[in-house]
Amino acid sequence: MSWMRTLLPLSLALSAYATNHSRADGNITWGPCETEIEAGATIPLQCGNITVPLDYTDTKSDATLDVQVLKVPTDKTPKKGSIIFNFGGPGLEARTTLAQAAELLQTLTGGHYDLIANDPRGTANTLTFSCYENDTIRLSSFDQARFEEFAGPADKMALGRLWASASLVTQACHEHAESKERGELIGTAFTARDIMQIVDAVEDDGLLRFWGLSYGTVLGSTLAVMFPDRIDRIVIDGVMNPHEYYNSYDVEVIADTDAAFAQFIKECINAPEKCTLATHNSTATSLEKSIYQLLDTLKYQPIAYEGTIIDYGSIITIIRTTLNTPASWPTLSAALDSLLSRNLTQFLAIQASMNSPYASANMNEAVYGIHCADKKPGKHTFNEVLPTVSTLSNQSALMGQVGNPLSMLATQWKLEAKERYTGDFRAKTKHPMLVIGNTYDPTTPLRSARNISESFEGSIVLEHGGYGHCTLQHGSVCTGKAIQNYFNDGTLPKAGTFCEAAYPPFANMSWNDLLPKLGSNKTAN
C-alpha cells in the first residue's frame, strides 16, 4: 500500500509534536493518536481516554469504562473552551471524522475553541457492540440470513423472510455473551452522561458546547433536555425527529428524499457539461420519469450480466449513498446514465469503484445495537410492524423500503438500554439552541428541524439552502457566518433566516473554497 508509506513521515512528525505537548487535563491525559488517525489530519491532534462509570444506573458498582477521545487544540488566544462533536450514526466512530475535518471545523467555529470528539459507547474501540465472534462467522451468518434485502410493502413473502432474518440477527446479539452484556449499556442517555463527564474534565465553567449532525442531533436533543442548565451552545444540524427515534419508527427521515432526488435531476439539467445524465432527455420531469420507469423495470426484471445480477437493490444502494453528498452526484449521474444507455460494463465499473476501502474494516453491529437499545416502538409482532412498512413507502418512492430491516429488528430486539429518555423534549436551555435544516436533505427533512425547535424554548431554525445530508456537504458563506457568530458570542440568526448555497452542486467546489471568505488564512486542501 504505497499511499500509507507516503503518509508515514508526516504522521510520525505529528506524533512527536503531540507527545511533547502531552499534559493532564482534568482526568484526561492527552497523548499522541493512533497512526491511522494522524494520517488523515493536517493539523496537530491529541488523543486520550476518559474513565467513566460503566453503568450510571448501578450506583453500587465501581466498574468503569475508558471512552476514547480526540482533541484538536486551538492555536488562537484567548481560548474560549471546547466544542464536542458527534457526526451521526448511531454506531459510527467520531474521532477519525473530526481529525479529517479539523481545519474546516476550526474555521466554522471561530477558531478559539478546542474541538473534541469521543467515540460513543458501542462504537469503534469503545465498548464495541459486536454480536459475532469474528468476521468469518459474521459474514456467513448474514449470508444465511440474507439480511438487508429490499422487500416492498406489497410483497408479503419477502417481508416475512425479512422478519425471519431480523429474528436471526436479534438472536445472535442476545446469545453472544459479550453483546448481551454490552447491549444495555450503549444507549444514548449513557453517552450523553459520558459527554458531560468530558465537560467536567475539560471545562472550567462546567458548561457544554456541542455540534451534533444527523443522529448527533438526537444526542444533542437528549443532552439539552437532560442537562438544560448546563448548555452554553448547541448546534443541531440535519435533525432526526427524536420522538420517532425513541418511541416509534423512523418514518419522517425520508420525507424529503424524493424531493431531493428531483432537485438532483433539475440541477443536472442545469449543468449538462458536468452531468452526463442530462444527455438523455430535455426536461427534468421526463428524465425523472424515465428513471422511475427504469427502477420499476429492474425491480421485476433484474439483469444477468457478466456473472452478476444488476437489480433494483444495486441502483437504490448507489442512490442512497450518493444523494447525501453532492460531491458524488457526478458518480450518481454516471451510474444512472450507464443504465439508461444499457452500458452495463460501465455500470459495473462504477459500482465496483464505490466499494469503500473500509467496508470490511471494523465490522460490528453498533448501528443496530444503539438504535434498537434506545427504541421502544411498543410493538412486538410481525402484524404490528406491517403498517409501518407501508407508511415508509408512502413517505418516499425511492427509499421507502430501506428502513424496513431496522423496523423489523427494533420490533424484536431484546437488549433494552438501562436508561432511556422518555420525556417530550420540552426544555428551556441556559442558552438557546441553533437548529439547522437543509431545504432538501434526503436523510433528515427540514420539518424535523422545525418539529424539535417548537419544544426547545428560544431555539431558532436556520434553513440551509445547500444540498446533501447536513450542512457540511454543501458550502454557504451565510451559514458559515451564522455558525461562527453563534459560537463566538452566542448570537442566533433571525427567525426565518434562509442561507443560500455559495455555488451549484455540480460545481466541483466545497466548503474549503469558502475558507478565505470565512476569515481563514489557511489554504484550501
Ligand X SMILES: *[C@@H]1O[C@H](CO)[C@@H](O)[C@H](O)[C@H]1NC(C)=O
**Beta carbon nearer to ligand X, 176 or 469:** 176
Using rule CB under 6 A, residue 504 touches ligand X: no
Using rule CB under 6 A, residue 69 touches ligand X: no
Q: How many angstroms separate the Cα of 484 from the Cα of each of 45, 207, 437, 477, 480?
A: 22, 18, 17, 10, 6
Q: How far is 511 from 466, CA to CA, in rounded Å?
A: 11
Site for ligand X in 197-226 (CB under 6 A): 200-201
Using rule CB under 6 A, residue 243 touches ligand X: yes
Peptide bond into 90 cis (omega under 30): yes
Which helix (H) or strand (E) segment holds residue 233: the answer is strand 231-237
Which of these ranges, 3-11, 386-394, 461-469, 484-492, lies near ligand X under the rule CB under 6 A?
A: 386-394
**Beta carbon nearer to ligand X, 292 or 320:** 292
Site for ligand X in 453-472 (CB under 6 A): 454
Which of these ranges, 134-142, 217-225, 366-374, 460-468, lies near ligand X under the rule CB under 6 A?
A: 134-142
Among 96, 241, 429, 471, binds ligand X (CB under 6 A): 241
Which of these ranges, 167-175, 177-185, 241-249, 361-369, lies near ligand X under the rule CB under 6 A?
A: 241-249
Q: Least distance from C-beta 165 to ligand X, angstroms? A: 21
Nearest to 447 by CA among 505, 487, 385, 395: 395
Considering Cα of 373, then 375, then 379, then 385, what sign does the dihedral take? Answer: negative
Are the C-beta atoms of 66 and 119 separated by less than 8 Å? Answer: no
Among 107, 443, 451, 471, binds ligand X (CB under 6 A): 451
Total number of residues binding ligand X (CB under 6 A)? 36
Burial of 465 (0-12, 13-18, 19+ CB in 10 A): middle
The strand pairing partners of 116, in sequence order, are 71, 84
Among 138, 180, 266, 280, binds ligand X (CB under 6 A): 280
Using rule CB under 6 A, residue 35 touches ligand X: no
Among 20, 77, 301, 383, binds ligand X (CB under 6 A): 20
Are the C-beta atoms of 245 and 222 separated by less than 8 Å? Answer: no
Which of these ranges, 45-53, 203-211, 373-381, 456-464, lies near ligand X under the rule CB under 6 A?
A: 45-53
Question: Which runs of E-coded beta strand occur in 87-207?
Answer: 113-118
Using rule CB under 6 A, residue 171 touches ligand X: no
Alpha carbons within 13 A on the beta-carbon side of 421: 26
Site for ligand X in 331-360 (CB under 6 A): 343, 345-346
Q: How far is 287 from 35, CA to CA, in rounded Å?
A: 47
Q: How far is 288 from 106, CA to CA, in rounded Å?
A: 39
Q: How far is 476 from 438, CA to CA, in rounded Å?
A: 11
Q: How many angstroms separate the Cα of 100 from the Cα of each of 38, 41, 96, 119, 367?
A: 9, 5, 6, 15, 21
Using rule CB under 6 A, residue 301 touches ligand X: no
Site for ligand X in 71-130 (CB under 6 A): 125
Q: Least distance from C-beta 279 to ligand X, angstroms? A: 8
Among 391, 485, 488, 497, binds ligand X (CB under 6 A): 391
**Beta carbon nearer to ligand X, 343 or 497:** 343
Copy the grid coordinates of residue 290. 424515465
Considering Cα of 443, then 446, then 450, then 451, what sign does the dihedral take? Answer: negative
Using rule CB under 6 A, residue 152 touches ligand X: no
State the residues that interact with ligand X by CB under 6 A.
20, 26-27, 31, 47-49, 66, 68, 125, 133-134, 136-137, 200-201, 241, 243-244, 280-281, 286, 289-290, 330, 343, 345-346, 390-391, 394, 451, 454, 508, 519, 521
